[in-house]
Structure 1
Amino acid sequence: MQTLKFFSPLTINSYPSHEYYECSADDMLEKLSSAEALYYKDEILAAIEKEKLPSEGDRGLMVYFDEDKVLAEKIYSLNPTVEEWNGELWGVMVAEVKGELTESEIKVLTDYFTGQYSDGYGEGFEQRPIKVEDGEIYVSFWNSENFFIKPEQELKQNSEPDLGCNTQTRGGM
């Protein structure tokens, strides 16, 4: 069994506590960069843990995968998380894999992640506020403008974390 990680940019919106403001919540929206989001890493990790369903058990999001029976047997579990890399907070899908994955299997898997982030797991997660000391944040694993998923090794082989994307845009600012 080996662990594979797949990284993607996050979009994080912050709403300061309402008690000091007389304007609407939309007027107070602040998009955080992925570097600023590091401050809330522990709260985000706690929200991800809380989001897990008992029916998913140890397999996580893999219980919903039904596209390829051979691949389903190779992948024991899929679990979303966040990690710091190069001074930024990233969305990470952690896969426990039996054996090696082919390029075509990685493509099927990353397509599945995209669906989970945009319509499945991620759609629900991004709609639930995460309470923080100065208000609420909303975390989206899906960013339709600058979204990508890269295997950890591919992402980290280039020492520049933005891979041609503007860091501010990727982080949502």
Structure 2
Amino acid sequence: MQDYSTYYASPLGVLEIRSDGTSITAILFTNTEKGNKVDESTIQLNTSDVEVLKLCITQLDEYFSGKRKVFDFPIDQKGTDFQKEVWQKLTSIPYGNTISYLDLSKKIGNPKAIRAVGTANGSNHIAIAVPCHRVIGSNGELTGYAGDLWRKKWLLEHEGKFENGLQTLF
């Protein structure tokens, strides 16, 4: 199967969107403190001829404009059965809401797996659509986000604004 990718200019910086031609396999921030450093001035932003990439871009546009709360394009993220279970539970966190890592570990039926849940959460390669940004510390603090904490804060405030009319969460 052939791999495809395109770039998307989001309010949070350029995203790289990858696909196998039928599903989305990754949505990644191109510039983070921890890696993925890309000279954004050299990136050619374009829409792809691959239908699932076009669908993903359309749904990201709708999300960022406050018109979409749930993504429904096909996803195929590679990982262990445990990771896939955690990622599936992430998609059940309602838009504009947060849960703790402990709550997430309880949702998978293993409250002692907090660290493993955190590691699986950090291994998510489908940013925004598989909403790992909605998981926070038990103390209510923002913690851990591969796309950098400022993006996590922005995403939570964006969702809060459209869901609850909130101006600032953190």
- TM-score, normalised to structure 1's length? 0.31
Q: Which has the larger radius of gyration?
A: 1
More strand as a share of residues: 1
Structure number having the greater helix percentage: 1
Tell which has more relative contact order, 1 or 2 (C-alpha 8 A, sep 6+): 1
Normalised by the size of structure 2, how large is the TM-score? 0.31
